[in-house]
Amino acid sequence: MSVCVVGRGKVGRALYRALHEAGEPCTLVAGRGLLAGTESVRKLGRHRTFVFAVPDGSIRELAEKLAPLLDARVRALHCAGARGVGELGALRERGVAVALFHPLVSFASSRQRSALRGATFTSLGDRRATSEAKRLSRRIGARCVVLPELSDSEAARYHAAAALVANGAAALADVAARILRELGYGQRDAERALSSLLASVAGNVARVGVPAALTGPVVRGDASTVARHLDALAESDQAASRAYAALQPTVVASALARGLGSREARAILRTSRAYAAK
């Protein structure tokens, strides 16, 4: 029994490396090659699990191409968090067990190894396929959370939650790095400093949860410091000032859940609204 990872991009290569290093029999094939006919499909029958780590728009086409070649003993997983298991419908119709297998991991470069060990995968779909998703997660030292099947809208909400953290944090780090560079930091020094700060936030989320991980002037109800931040940013970087102000309602909502008083919350929101409108 072996695993066939379909897709030679960042996600596919990371999964293949993690499985291979864990001693799991596996093969890596190119999704484009299967679609174009340049990648041989004759040996696919020896695999009992397929993991589709290809662009979202290719999953359905690949499933339709492979459906006539696979029997019902196969499990098929795909890694597209914004798509439901309906993308593998052609395989499901043939009795193949299908499931989502989405890693909550940021894959920024194919040259760097993303930390799959300790990560969380989200799975949903047929029981036999979600069981395989859990098994593969354990093999690479990750954990797997199995959800009930989601509608298209619910799948989009799930993926949006991941994007808020992964993309939002990276974009805010870009803004913060620009501020630090203007104050004399070198590019790499700024990136290292912010990466360690983000790691400490991640550690707090893991240790004490949310909203308890929230720190800083808002959770203390310190509207004057928030105003000083906004004044200083507005003098040199209007885009950063607007980003900071726009984020405050979200920070305040989290701080309220942590115990911030309503009077302090209103003061901070009044200040941030004035700058957000500029």
Residues 21 and 125 in one domain: yes
Q: Which residue has the tokens 């859990």?
A: 134
Locate 261 and state its tokens.
């008083």
**pTM, two decimal places:** 0.89
Tell me, yes or no, whether 135 and 200 share the same domain. Answer: no
What is the band of 31 on the pLDDT scale with cuts at 50, 70, 90? confident
Summarize pLDDT for 183-220 with one digit per residue, the tens. Answer: 999 999 999 999 999 999 999 999 999 999 999 999 99
Same domain, 215 and 189: no
> Residues of the chain with pLDDT > 90: what percent?
78
Average pLDDT over residues 111-137: 91
Q: What is the CATH number of the domain that holds 138?
A: 3.40.50.720
Quote the pLDDT of residue 15: 95
Res. 38: pLDDT tops 60: no
Q: Is the dihedral of CA 230, 232, 235, 239 positive or negative?
A: negative
Under the banding of pLDDT at 50, 70 and 90, the label for residue 13 is: very high
Last residue of a domain, one of 125, 149, 173: 149
Asked if 168 and 138 sit in the same domain, the reply is no
What domain range includes position 236?
210-278
Residues 261, 165, 167, 60, CA torsion sign: negative
In angstroms, the CA 35 to CA 26 distance is: 20
Look at the block and give the residue holding tokens 């200083």.
232
Residues 66, 226: Cα–Cα separation, whole Å: 57
Q: What pLDDT band is residue 121 in, cutting at 50, 70 and 90?
A: very high
156 plus 22 within the same structural domain: no
In this structure, the answer to whether residues 262 and 135 fall within a common structural domain is no
Same domain, 165 and 99: no
Domain co-membership, 48 together with 114:
yes
Are residues 133 and 162 located together in one domain of the fold?
Answer: no
Q: How many domains does the chain have?
A: 3
The yes-or-no verdict on residue 84 having pLDDT over 60 is: yes
pLDDT at residue number 148: 93
Percent of the chain with pLDDT over 70: 94
Tokens of 237: 């970087």
Confidence of residue 109 (pLDDT cuts 50, 70, 90): confident
Same domain? For 42 and 122 the reply is yes
162 and 174 inside one domain = yes
Examine the domain organization and report whether 22 and 61 are in the same domain.
yes
Of 39, 53, 47, the residue nearest 10 (C-alpha): 53
